Each structure stands twice: as C-alpha cells, then as structure tokens.
A and B are shown apart, each in its own frame.
Chain A
Amino acid sequence: MPFGVGRCVRPCLRLLASGAVLALGAREARAQAGTVSAARVIAFSATKISQLSVTVSSGAVQSIPSLTDNAVNNFPTPVVITTTWDVNPGQTNTVNLIAYFITPAQALSSGANQIPASRVLGRMTTGLPVTFTAITQNALGGVGTAGGSLRLFAQNITGANKKASRTDNLNLQINLVGIPTLPIGSYSGTLNLRAVTQ
C-alpha cells in the first residue's frame, strides 16, 4: 500500500460519509421552507336583531264626556304615536302602522250595548287616512283583524332611513249620524296599535 493512499482511506471514508449526511440535511431544509398546509375555514356569524316598536307618548286615554246622538263626536285630543325601527333595508320594503279593534262589532261597549268599529273613525294627516276613515279595513301582514283595522301609514325603507323613527298624530271620532239613539251608558274600548314590516 502506498504510503499516502493507505493512510488516507479511513479518514477519507469518514469525510465522505459526513458529506453525505450534510447533503441529506440540506435537502430536508429545502423541503420545509415555503411548505403550506391545507386551508381551514372558520365561519364567523353575528346577527343584528331588527327592532320595531310603537309607543304612545300622549293621548293614551281618550274620552268624550257626552255623546250626542245623530252627530259626529270628536275625541278632543290626538293620540301621539312614535314608531321606531332598525331594520335591514335589503329585506324590508315598508314599515306599516296598523290600528285595530280585537272585536270590530263591539269597538266600544256599555254592557250589552255596543258601538261598532264602523262608527269609529281615524285620521292621520301625516299618514294614509288623511281624512277621517272608518276602522273597517282588514289585517295587514298578520296584524289587525278583518273588518276592524286601519292602516295608518306605510313608511318606505331605504338605506338612508333603515334606522329611524317617526311621530304622528292620530285623531279619532265616533260618528253616530244615521243610527238609532244610543242607549245611555259609559262606553269603553281599546284601540290597538302595532307596526309590521313588509
């Protein structure tokens, strides 16, 4: 064995082996850099609940101290109604306010004697019935009763007024023209006010 070669075999083999290991390590390092996993999707959802409310700020109790037969009897003060909404304009065309009696045949009653809804008229000069109109319409959007309702306004909804409110005056009267003399008594009833979107 020549002097140089014979002495170099083992160390050289070790050196070659080390080089091979280093080369393998370099390849793994190249494979990890820039590796991406599969995409994972996390869905977030948060619901903004739409809001719709009706309040009577004044005139919640209306009284006529003395009814006159065969005449139009006005309730002396208006009912002041505030309707507030916060709705999605993409899913709501209008906000509607409905006035209605549960039992149209007896809007007001005094014992066995009744004043029907057809004799109770409402007017909202800022709404739909700008003149006195009998409360004899049908329900709207499931709100109201057949023959005992009156649509007071239909507010168009856009992006500009998706969250807003409006205040209106409702005037009421009892029209006794042309009906038999009303028996004496204290007549009372409840007019319901409810808003509905469409």
Chain B
Amino acid sequence: MQRPLNRALAVAAALALAAATTAQAQVGLTSNTATVTLNATKSSTLTVTPTTATATLASITDNSNVNNFTNVGLTTAWNLTAGTSVNLIGWFATPASALANGTAVIPSSNVEGGINGGGFTAFTGGAVGGVGVAGGSLQLFNQAVAAANFLGTRTDQLNVRLNLVGFPTTSAGLYTGTLNVQAVVQ
C-alpha cells in the first residue's frame, strides 16, 4: 500500500512542477520586435516678413524729396547649411511705372529706399542673384553668413521716399505701386 502511494505522490509532484514551468513561461511572454523607420528632412529656409503690407504717403510734394512713406519693418530669417551672404533686394516689376495714377506714372528712378535711417538710393540697380529686375532694383543689405550664423534673423526698417526734385509736376490723384522685397543667398 505504501509503495503505490509514494509513486502517486511523486507523479503528482512532477506534474505540478511541469505546470508551474509552463506558467512561468507565459507570464511576460514577449513578441518579436518590429521596427518603423522614421525620416524627417529639415530643409534650408529663407524668409522675409514685412510688418505691414501697406506704406502710405498722405500728400505728394512736387519738386521735393521730402515725400516719405511710412516705414515698413522687415524681418529676414534664414536657416542654411552653405552660402556666404544673405541679400535683401527691393524691386519694382516695371521700373518705368513704379507707381501709377492712371496714365500718369512715377518711375523707379524717382523712388528711393534705404534701411535703418541710412542714406537713400534710387531703385535703379540690377538684379542680384537672379532676384529683381534690371533698372528697377535696390540691394537693401548684404549680410555675411558662415557656419556660426547659418541660423539667424535680422529686423530692419525700410525707408522709402519719392524724390521728385526736377520731376515734372505730378497729376493730382492716387498713385499706387508694388514694391517687391525678396532675399537671396549667395
């Protein structure tokens, strides 16, 4: 009677051990590792943001250069990996009629610009780095860049005036025009 009982106990113990081993194997069972490759590209950026879309001159004075438009703030931001300079160009698409009042026009040669209170220069330059038009452009600044400032920003005040000294008397009316401002890396 004793022998069969011992054997039965031994078998039961073995079965219990096997079951326990299986239980341990299932707790915390982990799968294979699947992967997802993530790619994201940060491209070079160069932006110009004016503080206002409109500059005004309330009253034109003939034969005078004291015809100042309201100033326009310009923020130029860049994030580059190469290049030696950031250039800001102001230009009129049609230099012969920078501003127009019907058939009456004021050419870009009588429109002058400057930045941050510096001197005025007529918009009669050529394009820079493919930006601008011949005879209707003005380089507003040339900002040197290198590895240390490939990521940068600057804010300037654009000053624009009409220089009508020696210009025929203008017709009464509203003269409107569009000055384009664009940056280019060289």
Contact = CB atoms under 8 A, between A and B. Distances in A.
State whether these chains interact.
Answer: yes
Interface of A: 38-41, 43, 45, 47, 50, 52-56, 59-67, 69, 73, 75, 79, 81, 83, 87-88, 91-92, 107-108, 110, 115, 120, 141-143, 170, 172, 174, 181-198
Contacts of B18: 45
A75 B29 contact: no
30 contacts: A41-B7, A43-B11, A47-B22, A50-B26, A53-B32, A54-B32, A54-B33, A56-B34, A60-B34, A62-B38, A64-B40, A67-B42, A67-B43, A88-B26, A92-B26, A92-B29, A107-B38, A181-B79, A184-B45, A184-B79, A184-B81, A188-B40, A192-B33, A192-B35, A194-B33, A196-B30, A197-B26, A197-B27, A197-B29, A198-B27
A181 B78 CA distance: 10
B165 interface: no
Given A172-B36, A193-B34, 17 more contacts: A39-B7, A41-B11, A50-B26, A52-B31, A55-B34, A60-B36, A63-B38, A66-B42, A83-B31, A88-B22, A91-B27, A143-B30, A170-B36, A174-B40, A190-B38, A195-B30, A196-B28
B34 A54 contact: yes
Interface of B: 3-4, 7-8, 11, 14-15, 18, 22-23, 25-45, 79-81, 150-151
A73 to B, nearest CB: 7
Contact of B36 (A40, A62, A110, A174): A62
Contact of B14 (A43, A62, A193): A43
A175 B83 CA distance: 29
B148 to A, nearest CB: 13
A186 B41 contact: yes
Query: In this complex, which of A55, A91, A170, A188 has the most chain B Cβ atoms within 10 angstroms of its Cβ?
Result: A91
